[in-house]
């Protein structure tokens, strides 16, 4: 997997004068079936989240409210995405380092994950992540 495999995905948006509705179906809108959902909120100004990569897990990241930046890194280059609409999602494939920063006040970040939580799936040290990439090349 590489940075070019990560991409923004438009989610369905049903507009209605009473309020809009967006939905996500695993395998249809997300390029995987999701097994876990979690969300980040009340992130203090100037704080950073993420700072890790996954061996096998895929994610869909959505700004449910407010905005934040997601910086993706494949070990060779970085790409920044600014998420600020609840009907846009960012697909992050395995073996991509991710950082989330620049959270606006009141931002809520929803993450849909392809697998249940497994600590063994994480790279939490960037140097180890880079060594693994070089060994796989």
Looking up tokens 């380092």, which residue turns up? 97
Secondary structure class of 91 (helix, strand, coil): strand
Secondary structure class of 123 (helix, strand, coil): strand
| Cα 119 to Cα 54: distance, rounded to the nearest angstrom | 9
Active site residue 29: no
DSSP label of 74: -
DSSP label of 30: B
The one catalytic residue among 52, 54, 82, 132: 52
Q: Which residues are catalytic?
A: 52
């Amino acid at each position: 997997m590489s940075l070019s495999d990560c991409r923004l995905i438009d989610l369905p948006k049903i507009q209605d004068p009473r309020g809009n509705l967006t939905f996500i179906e695993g395998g249809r809108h997300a390029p995987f079936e999701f097994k876990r959902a979690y969300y980040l909120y009340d992130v203090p100004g100037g704080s950073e989240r993420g700072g890790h990569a996954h061996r096998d897990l895929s994610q869909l990241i959505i700004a449910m409210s407010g905005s934040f930046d997601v910086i993706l890194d494949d070990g060779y280059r970085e790409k920044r995405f600014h998420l600020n609409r609840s009907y846009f999602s960012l697909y992050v494939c395995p073996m991509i380092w991710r950082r989330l920063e620049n959270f606006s006040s009141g931002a809520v970040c929803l993450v849909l994950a392809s697998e249940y939580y497994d600590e063994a799936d994480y790279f939490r040290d960037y140097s180890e992540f880079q060594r693994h990439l070089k060994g796989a090349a």
